[in-house]
Amino acid sequence: MPYWLAAGERCELRLTIGAVLDGAATTGADDSFLRAVLTELALAPVRDRVWPAMTAVARCAAGYSDDVLPIRLSGAERGAVLSLTGLSGAVLSALNDGPRAL
């Protein structure tokens, strides 16, 4: 079950994780999980390009805007993200609201 994040939220998450992996910020999170989240953030628009109908139907049903994409995270990956400091309320809210059906 995916978490739904808008383009700005995905960008914020990517930049925050990038800073941690570059050593510019610190966290207790396992780097491998954060790298996996970066991979997932890159794959979300790929899935939308290859299989646009799948996401469009779910997005339409939920009333999301066109830039909102499903992000699929394991429990460990989500935990690594939630351990980061400085994430906005919008990102935390999307990840804390729980996954929603596609």
Partner 1 sequence: MTDVFGTAGAGLGRMPIRRSQINSDLVLDIVAEAAPELESATLRIRVLDRLGSDPLLSIEEDERRVRIDVAELARSMEIAHVTGSRRGVRAAFASWIGHRPVTDAQADATGLAVCGWADPGCTTIGWQVVVRRGNVVAVWKPSAAVAPTAIAVTRTQAQVRSLSVRVDMHVAGEAVVWTCTAAPALSTAALVSPERMLLRLSRRALPTDDLLVVVSPPNPFVCARGPVAERLAEESNEAHVTLAWPSVEALGWS
Report the interface residues with partner 1, using CB under 8 A: 36, 38-43, 45-47, 49-51, 53-54, 56-57, 60-61, 72, 102
Task: Dig out the tokens for 93 from the structure.
Answer: 């809210």
CA angle 82, 83, 85 (to 5 degrees): 95
Amino acid letter, residue 68: V
CA angle 28, 34, 37 (to 5 degrees): 150
User: Least distance (Å) from partner 1 to the CB of residue 70?
Assistant: 9
Please identify, using beta-carbon distances, which residue of 57 and 90 lies nearer to partner 1.
57
Please identify, using beta-carbon distances, which residue of 26 and 51 lies nearer to partner 1.
51
User: Least distance (Å) from partner 1 to the CB of residue 74?
Assistant: 10
Q: How far is it, in rounded angstroms, from Cα 95 to Cα 41?
A: 14
Q: Which residues is 69 bridged to in the sheet?
A: 5
Please identify, using beta-carbon distances, which residue of 24 and 50 lies nearer to partner 1.
50
User: Least distance (Å) from partner 1 to the CB of residue 93?
Assistant: 23
